[in-house]
Structure 1
């Protein structure tokens, strides 16, 4: 078997594949940068061409001219789509390895920008399987991981994130892991969830089972006072209210955290079942509080990890743990690069769908005509 990269056994004809990802020396192939400051795809939509004032007036005042303009736009779009399809088929004949790699990376659910960067760098050889193995290895090596950081370091840790991603359960898992390793006397819980009915009750139940104290705080001042009272605890976990990344009250809650105590480290909780565009929007909404890392929940419920991998590669937000079920604390595992990629490959194989060649061609092909 190859010395480096990832090894894949079996075919893609219905047989389950065993994927072993190994990080090694990739002869410079691993220096690909996926980082995007705005966490948005780099391929921006084409902007309409600027018009002179005179022509703008002519188009808007004459209904017939406006209808002609719309028809020309439609024809232009159809023409561009045809060019992209032709370019995709041409690439399949002239660059079969690159085309095969794009298809397989797309099957993982990765963003188009990540697929293209990997294919551009690694799709020039003669062996599609070798290119695939190297691509998996490069993905693994570039994944930012901060394994077991919370349990090792302790301190004041706030878990933030959108509604329904499992923040309270994750806080309970972290508390249980810490209590098992260092003793329950050294950990305490704090809830700032004053928005959800019964939100604090769940945390109180977990605290009673674990034998750890739980406190509540409804404002920045209350939170600061509670944290001062818990200064003798080695680990204080703060459970926050879940809010949409578009909720106007989100900034208020984040300011409460950032202003209550200088030593608070925030971890963003992301659900593996969330689609890529929403994950990217969430990371962008919480970025200004500078999270120390993230935790990925609901891995056991996901049918693809492509969205999570893409956001991690783009944002370089270090992932500390993976939530793999509801059991406390068993279903919280330290993140491992190789395990993440192996799981993504297994999910892709288990839930693979017939690829729409035309859709794939329009999203991946025709780069030479992007400016038409």
Structure 2
């Protein structure tokens, strides 16, 4: 049997090609629509073709008519009718069917209607083989078996697996990058220590005071390598001292309306009382007044009112922005009005409302000062400053100086954010434990704290070694 595949733009052209190539006895095995036209699979068995009858002795010399050689006029007409019927059936199928849907294979249609008994078993076998062929579908211009097409669940599972693999690769690459950065940083430090030993020494000493590595690197860059050790350290201290900004006791000297803002627990209420007592001692209790907006904390207003009775000054409570404006209008004759705001975490959503309430005041200019605890970590202080910078901060006040081991981190935050330092508090006594910030005094305190900490660590190490 001879099997051949034919491609044509339409069914009529395909059938004509089959007839022209294999003859009218060819059998159509299958047909389907492909990109650009029609695909037919036809077969022809020369052995099963009908053989002409042997000529009799009486007719050996006679000439066979042309009609007998071609099968006769009736046979030709039947073949034409069969082809025409097949073509009409193909044209009646919906032309707008999507190419991705598999088309059912057409039953084998003989090219002639005068089928002989010898052809029936072979045609049945070929029909069964064609029906067992796997349906095809067109995906992205290519023909693939339908069993290879994934459903939505399988596609989602594969995509999820790919996302997991991609995320794992990203994590591995991030870990490798961090490792390389760490190694390169160590190599750079070793290279700096080899080429610029004085700079490396100064960087280590500045970081021992609690300052950040960025500030230590910036300060040490300005010191020449040829300068002696003691002179180089003095120059570094002078450079850091010049970087510190102070306000020179502006609250007590200028007066006005001052609001202390900051997170909870940093000592805003006690600091307000200390400032009010200092101002009342200099200008009299009638020249100062205190306002509290802390209506969240239990007994917050009672604490400030107790301080007011001791000092002898007026204390008011304002629950919102309107009451604050009204109270400020009543106290406009006072030289200094101190506002104690509610302590809130820098991540509290209510903080924005409180800051907006202070900024909405249009009658009097309020100067906000940020209160920071020196015992807080440097990263925490950085976050607090970043959140409260929505206000035009006039300066900052560092509290709990007596409780911290180093003030270098606080000074680094002040330098990096260009935030002036106004006052320092180092105890609970009112009004004794408050100091005016001075750059030289701050650097001296930083050195003293670093020396005390180093001595304690050395003593602890020796003690552990003795008992080991």
* TM-score, length basis structure 2: 0.60
- Establish whether residue 114 from structure 1 lines up as the match of residue 114 from structure 2: no
Of structures 1 and 2, the one with the larger relative CO (CA 8 A, separation 6+) is 1
- Structure 2 stretches lacking a partner, 5+ long: 1-157, 459-468
Distance 1:221-1:107 versus aligned 2 partners, 3 A rule: same
Q: Whole-Å Cα distance in 2 between the matches of residues 142 and 241 of structure 1? A: 32
Find 2:239's aligned residue among 114, 123, 138: 138
- Establish whether residue 315 from structure 1 lines up as the match of residue 445 from structure 2: no
Contact between 1:191 and 1:215, CA under 8 Å: does it hold in 2? yes
Q: Whole-Å Cα distance in 2 between the matches of residues 267 and 187 of structure 1? A: 17
Contact between 1:59 and 1:69, CA under 8 Å: does it hold in 2? no
Find 2:432's aligned residue among 327, 330, 334: 330
Aligned-residue RMSD, C-alpha = 2.3
- Structure 1 runs of 4+ with >4 Å offset: 57-60, 62-73
1:110-141 Cα deviation digits (max 9, x unpaired): 11211111122225334233222111111111
Distance 1:316-1:75 versus aligned 2 partners, 3 A rule: closer
Find 2:322's aligned residue among 207, 212, 221: 221
1:327-371 Cα deviation digits (max 9, x unpaired): 11111111101001110111111113879xxxxxxxxxxxxxxxx
SS at match of 2:389: helix
For 1:50-69, what aligned pairs fall within 5 Å after superposition?
61=162
For 1:48-87, what aligned pairs fall within 5 Å after superposition?
61=162, 70-71=171-172, 73-87=174-188
1:10-31 Cα deviation digits (max 9, x unpaired): xxxxxxxxxxxxxxxxxxxxxx
Distance 1:95-1:235 versus aligned 2 partners, 3 A rule: same
| Structure 2 match to 1:278 | 380
| Structure 2 match to 1:160 | 261
Find 1:201's aligned residue among 288, 302, 315: 302
SS at match of 2:259: strand
Distance 1:164-1:293 versus aligned 2 partners, 3 A rule: same
Distance 1:67-1:288 versus aligned 2 partners, 3 A rule: closer
For 1:360-371, what aligned pairs fall within 5 Å after superposition?
none
| Structure 1 match to 2:443 | 341
How many residues are treated as equivalent by the alignment? 299
Find 1:180's aligned residue among 281, 306, 314: 281
Deviation at 1:302, TM superposition (A): 1.2
Contact between 1:101 and 1:123, CA under 8 Å: does it hold in 2? no
Distance 1:77-1:281 versus aligned 2 partners, 3 A rule: closer
Find 1:151's aligned residue among 240, 243, 252: 252
Distance 1:70-1:194 versus aligned 2 partners, 3 A rule: closer
* TM-score, length basis structure 1: 0.75
Contact between 1:159 and 1:239, CA under 8 Å: does it hold in 2? yes
Distance 1:89-1:281 versus aligned 2 partners, 3 A rule: same
Find 1:232's aligned residue among 295, 308, 333: 333
Contact between 1:160 and 1:239, CA under 8 Å: does it hold in 2? yes
Q: Whole-Å Cα distance in 2 between the matches of residues 64 and 224 of structure 1? A: 59
1:62-96 Cα deviation digits (max 9, x unpaired): 87776566545544433443333233223222211
Greater CA deviation, 281-290 or 62-71? 62-71
